[in-house]
Structure 1
Amino acid sequence: MKKILILLTAVLISTAAFSQAKKETVHIYNPQANAKADIATAVAKASKENKHVLLQVGGNWCSWCIAFHNLVDSTATLKQFINDNFETVLVNYSPENKNEAVLADLGYPQRFGFPVFLILDGKGKVLHIENSSYLETEEVAANGKKKVGHDVKKITSFLKGWTVTAVNPETYKAKAR
């Protein structure tokens, strides 16, 4: 009987430890952050550096948000392109802080799901809201099923269309000969 009790205790302890390990989550979004102030800071910096602002709205609960963040972090060319052309802000949306007033001011981008991306100019004006589902990969895995995740080429193409140069009308004027 004593052996059974010891075995049962060991199983319960290991189960509890495993359960706690599974609950560890990624924390790239900060529910306590002041999104309005963070955006204002990014807009001011973007204005000085001739960049736009890229907002990624999502939460630590969102596997697609984390996957996108990790994809950017692990893809040097994409990360460099974003750093060269945008000031980036992660805007939290979670039960702890939905940033409802900020998102209302931005045109309710959460209507597209998460993550959702916004491009702001150097004055804080919303230039574009992008539904991230348009940036998903179309690749098919060896098992014949669609791979899950975002496509670097689609992301890059989207972002190239919203750089300062891309939206500047002077870029498209015919050059005098």
Structure 2
Amino acid sequence: MKRLIPLLLLAAVPALAAPVAAPHVAARSFEQLAKPLPLPYAEGADADAAVAAAKARARQAHKLLLIDLGGNWCLDCRLLAGTIELPDLNGWVKRHYEVVTVDVGRFDKNGQIPAHYGITGRLAGVPAVLVVDPRTDRLVNKGHETALSDARSLTPQALADWLARWV
């Protein structure tokens, strides 16, 4: 019985579960993304309402919430959005994440969204990606929010692998 208890505890703690593998992305470079690249950030949208609605959907669907903070002027932001739209990755992302995009303008809009998760002051770069557990409203990827702000130096597969890291 003593051996069974630790195994039961491991099964009950999602953080100790086996990581989910990223899907294989056929695109080897961003040159293979559909053109023009998406413009994912709706200027003037009510970010608070959009994040609240996405959080509720994520909680109900037992997914993580992915808050993508950026601007349509940002190449790295648009590369991330274009990569997520790839057929190889899109279904996987939809299974694991509820995605919401938030326009941060030129770092002068919607700062209350990252501030809610303890990120105060100017963002170090965009896209800033917040992976949130919607049940606890806690940031899962603390300290790694701006890791994709130089997305152009990665590959589509590396972006997929980064997204899989938090699932």
Return the TM-score normalized by structure 1.
Answer: 0.62
| Structure 1 runs (4+) greater than 3 angstroms displaced | 132-136
From 94, 97, 122, the counterpart of 1:83: 94
Q: Could you say if the C-alpha distance between residues 65 and 89 of structure 1 is closer, same or farther in structure 2, counting changes exceeding 3 Å?
A: same
What aligned pairs does 1:56-71 form with structure 2 within 5 A after superposition?
56-71=68-83
* Residues in 2 aligned to 1:133 and 1:54: alpha-carbon distance in whole angstroms: 13
- Tell me: CA distance 1:80–1:27, structure 2 relative to 1, closer, same or farther (3 Å): same
Deviations 1:119-170, CA, capped at 9 Å, x for gaps: 011233211143234874xxxxxxxxxxx4542222222222212xxxxxxx
The verdict on how the C-alpha distance between 1:48 and 1:119 changes in structure 2, with shifts beyond 3 A counting, is same
- Please give the per-residue CA displacement for 1:32-76, whole angstroms capped at 9, x wherever unaligned: 111111111111111111100111110011121112211222x21
Kept in 2, the 8 Å contact 1:31–1:97? The answer is no
Q: 1:127 aligns with which of 130, 135, 140?
A: 140
Match status 1:35 vs 2:35 = no
Shift of 1:81: 1.1
Deviation at 1:113, TM superposition (A): 0.2
Pairing of 1:7-156 with structure 2 (within 5 A): 27-73=39-85, 75-95=86-106, 98-108=109-119, 111-123=123-135, 124-128=137-141, 129-133=144-148, 136=151, 148-156=152-160
**Aligned partners of 2:150 and 2:75: how far apart in 1?**
15
Greater fraction helix: 1
Q: TM-score, normalized by length of structure 2?
A: 0.65
Unaligned runs of 5+ in 2: 1-36
Cross-structure match for 1:18: none
Asked if structure 2 preserves the Cα contact closer than 8 Å seen for 1:135 and 1:154, the reply is no
Of residues 149-158 and 33-42 in structure 1, the stretch that sits farther from structure 2 once superposed is 149-158
**8 Å CA contact 2:58, 2:98 repeated in 1:** yes
| Deviation of the 1:117 alpha carbon | 0.8
| Corresponding pairs, count | 127
- Any conservation in 1 of the 2:76–2:150 contact (CA below 8 Å)? no
Measured after TM superposition, the shift of residue 27 of structure 1 is 3.7
Larger radius of gyration: 1
